Amino acid sequence: MSPGPRPPLDQVPTAPPLVTGRPGPGRPLLAANDLYVSFPAGPGHRFTAVEDVTFSVSEGETLGIVGESGCGKSTVAKCLAGLLRPDSGTISLRGVPLAARRSRQQHRAVQLVFQDPYSSLNPRLSVRSVLEELLSLHGLARGEALDRRCRELMTLVGLSEGALDGYPSSFSGGQRQRIAIARALAVEPEVVVADEPISALDVSVQAAILALFADLRDRLGIGIVLISHNLAAVRHVCDRAAVMYLGRIIEVGDKEEIFGAPLHPYTKALLAAAPRLRPATDRPRPRLKGEPPSMTARPNGCPFYPRCPRAEPVCEAKPPQLLPAPGGSRRLAACHFREEQ
């Protein structure tokens, strides 16, 4: 669905249909520009958690963001959703920078789906109550249209209409995550940011939830930012991927390039160590050697230098910039030797 400019809320008597055709990727929808985020680190000190982060997601596109624990993925997600104000940099929707205090419409446009669907759902509210309250609050449906939209949302996320009268405790983890996704979709977002949406789920349902995100992208034409430390999961559904290390994007490009022929030594190592979605058929995977340096003790040169098998003296002295890879592709990599990989 190409959401387009929304009419004022008081002119929306009933919600428009949710399911329409996919416009295809292309138009930049949500963009992060030069994000910089720091946090306090003891009296008088701050450390940089996110630095120089720039990327965009288009209509009908899934962008995967991957990287080890602590590299800044959730911090970026919170900035995208307007829950955290970056020290500098902007988030733009359709080319328009979003204000530090977003309007209700702007909040609707970017919805966050969290890792743990249980703690993000109120156990005392039925699914119907949650959805009806949201739809009413945002003036998206009333009267008979409320029930119709609730049923539509259940269908959209692959649940039966009967699920509307259930409470969170009566559902499995996978079903609860579907409910959390329905809640995010209820306000008709233009972008859904999913922060580790499968990592709290049983392995047997992870692939089904990933398939649901791909289906929603295709049916609704929304942009999806899928954040995961699991490269195999992102590979499953994303169109493009950004790899983060120590608060920076170190490689970004089309899925085939990133997963088929990674350029950056860190991407290669992460890919080699990635678990598969079906562990029953999995072979032992090599582990990524060492731990990332502390955010408070970043190397001066390349952040991957202490762990990199390709490192040379220049890497310790000079930080590499995120620059286009050779061959005219859309891929960018931050490695002094990106042209030789």
Ligand X SMILES: Nc1ncnc2c1ncn2[C@@H]1O[C@H](COP(=O)(O)OP(=O)(O)OP(=O)(O)O)[C@@H](O)[C@H]1O
Considering only residues 187 to 246 of the shown chain, the ones binding ligand X according to CB under 6 A are 229
Q: How close are the terminal C-alpha atoms of the chain, in Å? A: 39
d(CA 265, CA 83): 33
Binding site for Mg ion (CB under 5 A): 73-74
Out of 62, 74, 177, 206, name the contact with ligand X by CB under 6 A: 74
Out of 25, 29, 63, 73, name the contact with ligand X by CB under 6 A: 73
Neighbours of 331 (CB within 10 A): 22
Considering only residues 288 to 317 of the shown chain, the ones binding ligand SF4 according to CB under 6 A are 302, 304-305, 308, 310-311, 315
Given the rule CB under 6 A, which of 65-73, 233-241, 280-288, 301-309 is the region that contacts ligand X?
65-73
d(CA 34, CA 49): 13
Indicate the residue among 65 and 311 with the shorter CB distance to ligand X. 65
Torsion of CA 124, 128, 133, 136, to 10 degrees: -170
What is the token pair recorded at 123?
């156990």
Q: How far is the CB of 269 from ligand X (least distance, A)?
A: 16
How far from chain centre, in Å, is Cα 250?
Answer: 17
Indicate the residue among 113 and 153 with the shorter CB distance to ligand X. 113
Report long-range pairs for 257-262 (Cβ below 8 Å, ≥24 apart): 257/325, 257/329, 257/331, 258/331, 259/231, 259/235, 262/341
71 binds, among ligand SF4, Mg ion, ligand X, none (CB under 5 to 8 A by kind): ligand X
Indicate the residue among 51 and 188 with the shorter CB distance to ligand X. 51
Name the residue with the smallest CB distance to Mg ion.
Answer: 74
| Contact call for residue 69 and ligand X (CB under 6 A) | yes
Residues 258-297: x/- map of binding to ligand X (CB under 6 A)?
-------------------------------------x--
d(CA 100, CA 122): 28
DSSP letter (8 states) at residue 218: H
- Interface residue list for ligand SF4 (CB under 6 A): 264-265, 302, 304-305, 308, 310-311, 315, 320, 335-337
